[in-house]
Amino acid sequence: MPSLYVPLAAQVATERRMATIANNIANMSTPGFRAEEIKFENLLSTVGKDEVAFVSEGESYTSLVAGPAIYTGNPLDVAVQGDSWFAVQTPAGRAYTRDGRLHIAPTGEVLTVDNLPVLDSGGTALLIDPAGGEIKIGADGALTQGANRVGTLGLFTLPAGAKLTRQGNAVIPDQAAQPVQDFSIFGVRQGYIEGANVDPIMEMTRLIAVQRTFEMAAQAVQQSEDQTSETIRTLGPS
C-alpha cells in the first residue's frame, strides 16, 4: 500500500524537520548557537512488484556557518575568529562551544555562562586570581593581569566530517579536536560575543513550507484510508 506508507514516511520526516526549525527559532538569540539542519535521502523499496521510493527519517547535522560578532564591552566576553572552538569540561566529557560569555568563580575558575570549566590548549581548567585585577585577553587567547600572563584560552579545530553530538550549547565530536597553532587565521576578540547563526526570516519561511508539506501528506493519508474503506464496503460480503 504505497499510497499510504509513502505519505506516512513524509509525515515522520517533516515532523522531525519542524522540531529542528522550532529549536533553531527558539535559540536565535542564544550567543554562539549553531543551527541544526537535516539531510534526507530516498529509500528504495523493491519488496513489491514495483519499486517505491520512501523518504528517510533524516540525519541531523550542525551548521558550521559563523554567526555575527556583537560588541558588548564586557572584558570577559570573547568571540572566536575563524572556524575554531573553545573547549569546556562537561559531565559527558570534553565539549566545544562558540559561546564566549565567561566569568570568574570565587575559587578562580574560568567558567562559561553554564558554569562549565573552560580549558586551555592542553586540556587543563583555567585558574585566575579573582582579586588579581583587570583581565586582558589577546588575539591568541592569552590572559594577562597587569604584566603577568596567567593563562591561555584553548582554541581547537574540529576534524572535517566529524559527527557532532549536541551537549547544551556545545558539541562533542566523534573525532579528536586539534589545538590551534596558527593565530593568523584563528583567534579571539575581547569584548565581543558571537551571535547565533540562525536567519529568522529563512527559518520562518522553511517552517511555513514544512507545515504545508505535512498537511499535504496528512491529506494523502486520509485519502488512502478513505479509498481502502470504500473498497472494503464495495467488495466485501453483504
Same domain, yes or no: 204 and 185? no
State the pairing for strand pair 36-39/59-62.
antiparallel
Which residues are paired to 139 by β-bridges?
A: none
Same domain, yes or no: 204 and 88? no
Same domain, yes or no: 73 and 186? yes
Which residues are paired to 45 by β-bridges?
A: 52
DSSP 8-state code for residue 37: E
Whether the model clears a pTM of 0.75, i.e. scores above it, the answer is yes
Domain final residue pick, 164, 179, 194: 194
Same domain, yes or no: 91 and 180? yes
Number of domains in the chain: 2
Q: Judge whether residue 162 has pLDDT over 80.
A: yes
Same domain, yes or no: 85 and 190? yes
DSSP H helical ranges for 27-143 = none
pLDDT tens-digit readout, 17-67? 888 899 999 999 999 999 988 876 665 555 556 666 666 666 778 888 899
Mean pLDDT of 173-195: 92
Same domain, yes or no: 13 and 106? no
Residue type, 234: T
The pLDDT of residue 181: 87
Same domain, yes or no: 46 and 95? no
Long-range contacts at 218-224 (CB < 8 A, ≥ 24 apart): 218/7, 218/11, 220/3, 220/6, 220/7, 220/10, 221/4, 221/7, 221/8, 221/11, 223/3, 224/1, 224/3, 224/4, 224/7
Mean pLDDT of 158-187: 90
Q: Judge whether residue 149 has pLDDT over 70.
A: yes
Residue 68: which residues within 8 A CB-CB, separation 6 or more? 194, 195
Same domain, yes or no: 33 and 133? no
- Phi then psi for residue 67, to 5 deg, are -90, 175
Full residue range of the structural domain in which residue 130 is found: 69-194
Q: Judge whether residue 221 has pLDDT over 80.
A: no
Same domain, yes or no: 187 and 76? yes
Percent of the chain residues topping a pLDDT of 90:
51
Distance of CA 205 to the CA centre of its chain: 20
Same domain, yes or no: 142 and 178? yes
Residue 113 C-beta-side C-alpha neighbours within 13 Å: 15
Lowest mean pLDDT among 71-80, 131-140, 206-215: 206-215
Mean pLDDT of 198-212: 89
The pLDDT of residue 146: 85
pLDDT tens-digit readout, 67-122? 999 999 999 999 999 999 999 999 989 999 999 999 999 999 999 999 999 999 89
Mean pLDDT of 208-218: 83
Task: Identify the burial level of 33 via C-beta atoms within 10 angstroms of its C-beta, where 0-12 means exposed, 13-18 middle and 19 or more buried.
Answer: buried
Same domain, yes or no: 110 and 185? yes
Same domain, yes or no: 172 and 207? no
Rounded CA gap, 201 and 207, in Å?
Answer: 10
